[in-house]
Amino acid sequence: MTARSAWRVTLTARAPRIVAGVVAAVVMVAGIRAIVTGPPAPPAAPKPLPTADTGAAAFAEGFVRAYLSWEPARPELRDAQLAAYASSELDAGAGLEASQRRQTVDWSTVIGAETIGRRTTVTVAAAAGGRTWHLAVPVTRDPKGFMVVAAYPAIVGPPPTARGDEAPDEDDVADRELASVAERAVRNYLAGERENLAADLDASAVVSLPVQPARVETIGGVTRAGRDRVAVALTARLAGARMELRYELAVVKHERWYVRSIETDPRARPPEAPR
């Protein structure tokens, strides 16, 4: 027989109930805390990626071409063109009083856009009057989606540029079959040899040949430009000019290597405008 104290026997018998009571108390406290503080906040929804409003970009570029062009002898022409873009609340000429010297726009291009709410501020570069202009044009869409330049543009600086940055190092393609296919495809592409090029294209490839054929003089190398992509560096002659060029090719391997695209895919679509 073994002698045991009464308090120890009692504690041993009540141990399971004590543990259960402690667990219940913890759960109760957690429940009260949840009631007081509320349920945990749901994870933040991912922010949508910005999309380019191509309609606003084209609208802003058209405005800049009308804004920077004038014929002193016929100012009504400029006013009529600007009326298609600018709000009637703005001053005549969208706030620009033209000089007495005729001016036309030689070229223009959109170089940036930022959308906040219904307003897209489009930055347009244009050459006019012997100088290059950079204008930020605020394009507003009304609830129906109609566009208007409701505020005056701003003269801004050109895009910041990085000088002296070196191109990233790329490893040479060790697969000679892949390198040969890439070199051959680029040569045929620049020369406009449609049938020869087709032999190295994947069945799903769509390639638009250059309008002006060029002759490849030398191939500088074939390197890895990413997953399933290679780059071909070369020199070529076009209309008497010698150019250093670089092409990126998307490639795929079936029974052998094929080219899916050369530098650009003509089927690529610009991002949709925000709704």
Q: What is the pLDDT of residue 195?
A: 95
- Asked whether residue 94 is assigned to any structural domain, the reply reads yes
Mean pLDDT, the chain, whole residue set? 84
pLDDT (mean) for 205-219: 93
Domain identity same for 110 and 193: no
Domain identity same for 58 and 150: yes
pLDDT (mean) for 200-219: 93
Domain identity same for 205 and 234: yes
- Asked whether residue 112 is assigned to any structural domain, the reply reads yes
pLDDT (mean) for 103-120: 93
**End-of-domain residue from the set 107, 124, 155:** 155
Q: What is the pLDDT of residue 265?
A: 79
Domain identity same for 62 and 128: yes
- Asked whether residue 248 is assigned to any structural domain, the reply reads yes
- C-beta separation of 110 from 63 below 8 A: no
162-180 pLDDT tens trace: 777 676 788 999 999 999 9
Instruction: Count Cβ atoms within 10 A of the Cβ of residue 230 and give its class: 0-12 exposed, 13-18 middle, 19 or more buried.
Output: buried
Helix, strand, or coil here: 185? helix
Distance (Å) of CA 143 to CA 83, 119, 147, 275? 20, 11, 10, 10
User: CA 100 from chain center: how many Å?
Assistant: 41
- Cβ-based neighbour number of residue 77 at 10 Å: 13
Instruction: Count Cβ atoms within 10 A of the Cβ of residue 91 and give its class: 0-12 exposed, 13-18 middle, 19 or more buried.
Output: exposed
- Asked whether residue 128 is assigned to any structural domain, the reply reads yes
Domain identity same for 135 and 212: no
Domain identity same for 202 and 258: yes
Start-to-end CA distance of the chain, whole Å, equals: 87
Domain count for the chain: 2
Write the CATH number for 123.
Answer: 3.10.450.540
Residue 214 has pLDDT above 80, yes or no: yes
Q: What is the pLDDT of residue 170?
A: 87
Structural domain span for residue 100: 54-155
Domain identity same for 129 and 203: no
Instruction: Name the residue with tokens 């109930």.
Output: 17
Q: Which residues pair with 234 in a beta bridge?
A: 219, 245
Domain identity same for 180 and 233: yes
Residue 12 has pLDDT above 60, yes or no: no
Residue 263 has pLDDT above 80, yes or no: yes
35-75 pLDDT tens trace: 444 554 554 544 444 456 899 999 999 999 999 999 999 99
Domain identity same for 145 and 182: no
Domain identity same for 147 and 197: no
pLDDT (mean) for 16-35: 55
Q: What is the pLDDT of residue 6?
A: 54
70-106 pLDDT tens trace: 999 999 999 999 999 999 999 989 999 988 999 999 9
Q: What is the pLDDT of residue 271?
A: 55
Domain identity same for 138 and 224: no
- Asked whether residue 160 is assigned to any structural domain, the reply reads no
- Asked whether residue 102 is assigned to any structural domain, the reply reads yes
Domain identity same for 70 and 104: yes
